[in-house]
């Protein structure tokens, strides 16, 4: 995905494909993860991952950074960032939207950036 795409705000509506057996997940993040990939895999299938980018999706005039996954079969999932499992056993139910708040949560990408910043002093 070109960097310009992640750099701009995305105020357009998001259409989620959910239904009887399909649900969705919204992962809210800090602005530092804008443009970064969050991966998802079914629990127990760590090598079977797909991903979405964190984008700025303004809500009510306020910046909101999130990765949005739809078409997820009901079940349990693991969320990954920068190759590390961040949250396990996230439950998705068909016909509903699960929300997960990673704001303020240290992630491998955040930790790597902080370490690089510390070494510059």
Q: How do residues 32-75 score in pLDDT, each as one tens digit?
A: 999 999 999 999 999 999 999 999 999 998 999 999 999 999 99
pLDDT at 109: 57
80: exposed, middle or buried (C-beta count within 10 Å: 0-12, 13-18, 19+)? buried
Question: Could you count the other beta carbons within 10 Å of the beta carbon of residue 12?
Answer: 7
Question: Could you count the other beta carbons within 10 Å of the beta carbon of residue 73?
Answer: 11
- Range with lowest mean pLDDT among 20-29, 40-49, 111-120: 111-120
Q: Could you give the CA distance from residue 28 to residue 103 in angstroms, rounded to a whole number? A: 6
Place of tokens 């997960």: 100
Place of tokens 């530092």: 32
Tell me what the mean pLDDT of segment 115-121 comes to. Answer: 36
Q: Which domains does the chain have, with CATH numbers?
A: 3-119 (2.60.40)
pLDDT at 107: 66
């Amino acid at each position: 995905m070109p960097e310009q795409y992640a750099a701009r705000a995305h105020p357009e509506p998001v259409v989620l494909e959910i239904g009887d057996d399909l649900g969705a997940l919204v992962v809210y993040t800090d602005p530092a993860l804008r443009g970064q990939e969050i991966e998802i895999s079914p629990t127990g299938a760590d090598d079977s991952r797909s991903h979405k980018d964190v984008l700025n999706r303004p809500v009510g005039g306020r910046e909101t950074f999130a990765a949005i996954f739809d078409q997820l079969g009901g079940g349990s999932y693991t969320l990954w960032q920068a190759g590390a499992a961040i949250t396990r056993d996230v439950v998705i139910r068909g016909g509903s939207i699960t929300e997960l708040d990673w704001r303020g949560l240290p992630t491998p990408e955040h930790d790597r950036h902080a370490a690089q910043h510390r070494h510059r002093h």
